[in-house]
Structure 1
């Protein structure tokens, strides 16, 4: 693992999340403010962060191994999520939601900023995290994830326009721009570099503040047992499978660590939207996202300590 007190860095980010929760509780801010921050992060600061990271470091050595390990965890937990929901007697729509939210991680909105905060831009860790987000979350979510939701729910079939929107998303375009700037390489004016760095460095703080403003604890009522079960799949089984795959593939650090950390992230917020859109249980999906986000407060430090002890 990188040097320094990683737990303190992670707790600092969760302290920012706590500020958001407090502001919401005091009535000073709420969901509308979170939506503004989310849009700012998605359309401005995250693309700037991606370009800044990839222009300097490119994709880390062995990054495709991290994609393989994370994909293994994704499919294992999709099956486990459906199986757990079925064993608990939940209806088919809830089973589909469990498969989605139990497998797809918040790798871009949360995972990349966390990896960047823990590792900085050294060693290609952040670039590897970006590749995992692009392939394992974004591409797989809009293909396999949509197919799973459509089959288990009552929604319509996937269409080509949804995939086209993914390909034209600012984050995807910024990946292409960052890799082009790294490969050519193309020098940027100093003021452009400073602007990209300043915008990108704001991403982790804004992400955790927005999450704090978005958390709605009322969505947890009445479904504690299945929520805890699916959250365990997401927060415990997913990183365990990714760790096993990383060891089997003999991935080196920090590639192996990034694969496990990305799989250990809480539920992807986009998977909640897809669950509702294609007829799965959207309320159950949203409640699971809340539980996994809160549960990550405890599980991520445990995962980090396990990586310290178990990886060669």
Structure 2
């Protein structure tokens, strides 16, 4: 594990989330403001962060092993989410939502900033986190995730337009740019480097502030038991399976830890959109996203402490 007090670093990010919650409670901000910040993060600061990280460190050694471990955890949680929802007697649409939100993690919006805050550039950890987000979340969500939602809900099939959107996503394009700059390498003017670093470093703060502004506790009413069950799948089973897979694949640190942390992230917000779009229970999906985001306040420090204790 990286040096320093990792728990306090993570709690500092959640303190920023608390500022967003307070602003929402005081009527000084809300969902519309969060949407603006989200768009800024997706289109500007995260691509800048990706280019800045990858042009310096590239993809960490063994990163594809982290992708494999995270993928195994994703499929295990998708099956577990559907099985748990079925055992609780939830309708088919809610089962589909449970499979989506119980498996897909917020690896880009939260995972990459958290890994960067905890590890910096050490061992290519941030580059590995970016690869996991691109393959396990973005690509798998718009292929396997859409197919699952369409089958369990009332939507259509995967179309070529959806796949094209994946390839033209700002994060995917910035990965290509960052790797190209790293491989050639292509020197950048000092002012461009400083601009990329400044924009990229703003990502964690903006992410957690936007989450605080968008949290709506009213969506949890009346469905506590099934929501708690799916949240346990997402926040506990996911990192446990990723850890087992990382050990089986004999991944080295920090690659193994990145795989576990990415699988421990709360529900991907995009999976909520896909659940609703393809006929699954969108309200159940949104409530799970809220609960897992809140639950990660406790689960992520627990996962970090478990990884620390497992360190040789």
Q: Which stretches in structure 2 are left out of the alignment for 5+ residues?
A: none
Provide Cα deviations, 1:150-200, integer angstroms capped at 9, x if missing partner: 000011112110110111011110000000000000000000000000000
Provide Cα deviations, 1:33-57, integer angstroms capped at 9, x if missing partner: 0000000000000000000000000
Question: Could you tell me how far apart the structure 1 residues matched to 2:170 and 2:247 are?
Answer: 34
Provide Cα deviations, 1:204-237, integer angstroms capped at 9, x if missing partner: 0000000000000000000000000000000000
> Displacement, 1:121?
1.4
SS in 2 for 1:29: coil
SS in 1 for 2:34: helix
Question: Could you tell me how far apart the structure 2 residues matched to 1:166 and 1:16 are?
Answer: 30
> Displacement, 1:122?
2.0
> Displacement, 1:309?
1.5
SS in 1 for 2:118: helix
SS in 2 for 1:89: coil
Provide Cα deviations, 1:240-278, integer angstroms capped at 9, x if missing partner: 000000011110000000000000000000000000000
The aligned counterpart of 1:130 is 130
Question: Could you tell me how far apart the structure 1 residues matched to 2:173 and 2:157 are?
Answer: 26
Relative to the length of structure 1, the TM-score reads: 0.99
Question: Could you tell me how far apart the structure 1 residues matched to 2:256 and 2:237 are?
Answer: 16
Question: Could you tell me how far apart the structure 2 residues matched to 1:308 and 1:8 are?
Answer: 14
Question: Could you tell me how far apart the structure 2 residues matched to 1:272 and 1:194 are?
Answer: 35
- Size of the aligned set, in residue pairs, is 312
> Displacement, 1:310?
2.2
> Displacement, 1:123?
1.2
SS in 1 for 2:105: coil
SS in 2 for 1:265: coil
Question: Could you tell me how far apart the structure 2 residues matched to 1:19 and 1:46 are?
Answer: 21
RMSD of aligned Cα (Å): 0.5
Q: Which stretches in structure 1 are left out of the alignment for 5+ residues?
A: none
Provide Cα deviations, 1:72-97, integer angstroms capped at 9, x if missing partner: 00000000000000000000000000
Aligned structure 1 segments of 4 or more residues deviating by more than 6 angstroms? none
Question: Could you tell me how far apart the structure 1 residues matched to 2:279 and 2:175 are?
Answer: 32
225-234 or 153-162, larger mean C-alpha shift: 153-162
Question: Could you tell me how far apart the structure 2 residues matched to 1:27 and 1:163 are?
Answer: 39
SS in 1 for 2:267: coil
Provide Cα deviations, 1:117-171, integer angstroms capped at 9, x if missing partner: 0000121000000000000000000110011000000111121101101110111
Question: Could you tell me how far apart the structure 1 residues matched to 2:170 and 2:156 are?
Answer: 26
